[in-house]
A and B are shown apart, each in its own frame.
Chain A
Amino acid sequence: MKRVYVNEEWCLGCHLCEYYCAFQNSGESDMVKAFGRDEKPVSRIRVEDVDGEDGIHFAVSCRHCDDPQCVKGCITGALSIKDGVISVNEDKCIGCCTCVLSCPYGAIVIDEGKAIKKCDLCVKNGNGEPACVANCPNRAIVFEERG
């Protein structure tokens, strides 16, 4: 199955993936407008940084595990896996954070007072290629099959 993989050696820490992800999931067609609202759109991908000349940067988003702790532990049944893609039913999720407790990668994003947010490979909002991949300036994030 095609997944989002991160090539850490090429990540520049520009954080653009976070902004494109949030935009893609905002339902807006204009990025300026999406971020112009008081309530900022939430990214499903996050970048960890150590700054400096020998800095380290990489992006983290849902790995869509074969044995997903988040789905199995979800107390509402809001998280489910279909064709290998784990997604959240935002109507059902109560934001209890049991998935945050379970995810080994920190790939579940808390959206205070609302349903949690997580990467669904842009299957709902995208056009084949996840927004983080399509807009990474250095191919540090790729969408491909790997062993």
Chain B
Amino acid sequence: MRLLNYVIIGNSAAAVGGIEGLRSVDKEGKITVISDEPYHTYSRPLISYWLEGKVKDSNIYYRDKDFYDKNKCETIFGRTVVSIDKNAKQVILDDNTSVSYDRLLVSTGSEPFIPSISGLESVSQKYSFMTFDSAKEVKAALKKPQRVLIMGAGLIGLKAAEAIADKVSSLTIVDLADRILPSILTADAARIVQKHIEAHGAKFILSQSVKEFRGNTAVLSGGDTVDFDILITAVGVRPNTELISDAGGKVARGIVTNKAQMTSIKNVYAAGDCTVSHDVSSGSDKILALLPNAYKQGEVAGINMAGGKAVYENAIPMNAIGFFGLHMITAGSYEGKTHIKKSGSQYKCIYYSDDVLKGYILIGDVSNAGIYTNMIRERIPLKTVDKKLMFESPRLMAMPFAYRREKLGGIKQ
């Protein structure tokens, strides 16, 4: 049998998932990984830890040094794929060369969204915070303490803030939303985290946007101004979908795939932050730009590309993150009834309907949170668990005896 030619565009979690998925089925086919970045696969969420100095250079890599060799991958780094020729089954690179494929995985991720604000071009030092290169740029710019303005109080903006907090002379974070981390926290929860971050020297300006830049001064929508030396923009991301849409593939907010991660173009698969997932906790389709999600989609794509069978399902939004030692874990969708418990910097909010757990926010003590995550993902009927115990804290004690017998005792009914 002729060996298949697999081509993977991108080199992050979804691509690695793709490689490992492929190799779990097809040990011999040819795999070519193409990335515009010149690096061995690295973990994007680690760039803030690297910048902070908590992760050494050698540990930013997502897989061991011999990863491509062990998985028999060829790599083309520092080249960008400019188009897909689906009829010729080729991808065209920015140097006009082409690479043929039998199966193609598009795991192009997303890129920072840069808002059009008048005067932005007049800012001398402005950075985004998505790639190893961008983190290196910020590090170089902060050789001596400077005033930093971060646009965006989301996950990326705040991780950047944490990373540089002790390297700056001042740190201001501005966001149009009325609270920090609006994508994962409610107003109540956000207040706790905000207070904690403020205690480490960051200043928040919320419910305001930057109207205009005048050199190194930002004019806010409320009229105030903020002087700064360095600007970091982290107001959002945009999925990289053009390769698929240009080739005539179906794209909604992200690339649309079936449960096997195949796009509407034959032999072309997609995975990761550039795709749309089905969130089972809310029942809606959305982009779930999360590393675990990307890896698992990539793995499913890889298995299917190699002729195996796998489906990606039971996806939900979920996040484990922390700032200055304060953990928080959130998952699912925030709808239905709530059970809230709050004391100091400890916070818990559980969202549930009559039937199932819908979502949760845990701040501080996040032990065993996965028990909640599993209940949401597997839609475990609430009537089968001891609700009171379960709401008190995530624990298997609240699950039925038969469940424990099977999961812990290995005895199936």
Q: At the interface with chain B, which of A15-23, A29-37, A102-110, A125-133?
A: A102-110
Q: When each residue 369-413 of chain B gets 1 if its CB lies under 8 Å from chain A and 0 otherwise, what string results?
A: 111011000100000000000000011110001001101111110
- Residues of chain A within 8 A (CB-CB) of B325 are 112-113
Q: Are A104 and B292 in contact (CB under 8 A)?
A: no
Q: In the docked arrangement, what's the CA distance between A122 and B125, Å?
A: 51
CB distance from A113 to the nearest CB of B (A): 7
- Residues of chain A within 8 A (CB-CB) of B299 are 72
Q: At the interface with chain A, which of B53-61, B245-253, B273-281, B342-350?
A: B53-61
Interface residue from A73, A97, A106, A147 paired with B412 (Cβ < 8 Å)? A147
Q: At the interface with chain A, which of B191-199, B226-234, B314-322, B333-341?
A: B314-322
Q: In the docked arrangement, what's the CA distance between A83 and B278, Å?
A: 33
Q: Are B367 and A63 in contact (CB under 8 A)?
A: no
- Residues of chain A within 8 A (CB-CB) of B368 are 100, 103, 106
Interface residue from A50, A58, A101, A108 paired with B408 (Cβ < 8 Å)? A58
Q: In the docked arrangement, what's the CA distance between A98 and B321, Å?
A: 8
Q: Are A48 and B396 in contact (CB under 8 A)?
A: yes
Number of A-B pairs, beta carbon distance below 8 Å: 127
Interface residue from B62, B318, B394 paired with A77 (Cβ < 8 Å)? B62
Q: Are B292 and A98 in contact (CB under 8 A)?
A: yes
Q: When each residue 301-332 of chain B gets 1 if its CB lies under 8 Å from chain A and 0 otherwise, what string results?
A: 00000000000000000111110010101010
User: B127 in the interface, Cβ–Cβ < 8 Å?
Assistant: no
Q: In the docked arrangement, what's the CA distance between A94 and B407, Å?
A: 28
Q: In the docked arrangement, what's the CA distance between A133 and B266, Å?
A: 52
Task: Output the residue of B55, B327, B329, B408 with the most chain A CB within 10 A.
Answer: B408
Q: In the docked arrangement, what's the CA distance between A3 and B371, Å?
A: 21
Q: Are A103 and B370 in contact (CB under 8 A)?
A: yes
Q: Are A58 and B404 in contact (CB under 8 A)?
A: yes
Interface residue from B59, B318, B369, B378 paired with A76 (Cβ < 8 Å)? B59
- Residues of chain A within 8 A (CB-CB) of B291 are 73, 75, 98
- Residues of chain B within 8 A (CB-CB) of A69 are 292, 370
Interface residue from A6, A59, A94 paired with B49 (Cβ < 8 Å)? A94
Known contacts A97-B320, A100-B329: A48-B397 contact under CB 8 Å? yes
Q: Are A73 and B45 in contact (CB under 8 A)?
A: no
Task: Output the residue of B374, B394, B410 with the most chain A CB within 10 A.
Answer: B410
- The count of residues in chain A whose C-beta lies closer than 8 Å to any C-beta of chain B is 39
Q: Are B367 and A110 in contact (CB under 8 A)?
A: yes
Q: Are B397 and A94 in contact (CB under 8 A)?
A: no
Interface residue from A72, A102, A105 paired with B407 (Cβ < 8 Å)? A105
Q: In the docked arrangement, what's the CA distance between A77 and B58, Å?
A: 12
- Residues of chain A within 8 A (CB-CB) of B13 are 75
Measured CB to CB, the nearest residue on chain B to A108 is B370
Q: In the docked arrangement, what's the CA distance between A91 and B404, Å?
A: 33
Q: Are B43 and A75 in contact (CB under 8 A)?
A: yes
Q: Are A101 and B370 in contact (CB under 8 A)?
A: yes
Q: In the docked arrangement, what's the CA distance between A59 and B411, Å?
A: 16
Q: Are A8 and B405 in contact (CB under 8 A)?
A: yes
Interface residue from A56, A77, A97 paired with B63 (Cβ < 8 Å)? A77
User: A92 in the interface, Cβ–Cβ < 8 Å?
Assistant: yes
Q: In the docked arrangement, what's the CA distance between A49 and B13, Å?
A: 39
Task: Output the residue of B320, B367, B412 with the most chain A CB within 10 A.
Answer: B320
CB distance from B320 to the nearest CB of A (A): 4
Q: When each residue 53-76 of chain A gets 1 if its CB lies under 8 Å from chain B and 0 otherwise, what string results?
A: 000101110010000010011011
Q: Which 8 A-B pairs have the closest CB atoms?
A: A106-B368, A73-B292, A104-B374, A103-B370, A146-B410, A101-B320, A6-B408, A97-B320
B residues engaging A (CB < 8 A)? 13, 17, 43, 45-46, 49, 54-55, 59, 61-64, 291-292, 295-296, 299, 318-322, 325, 327, 329, 331, 366-371, 373-374, 378, 394-397, 401, 404-405, 407-412
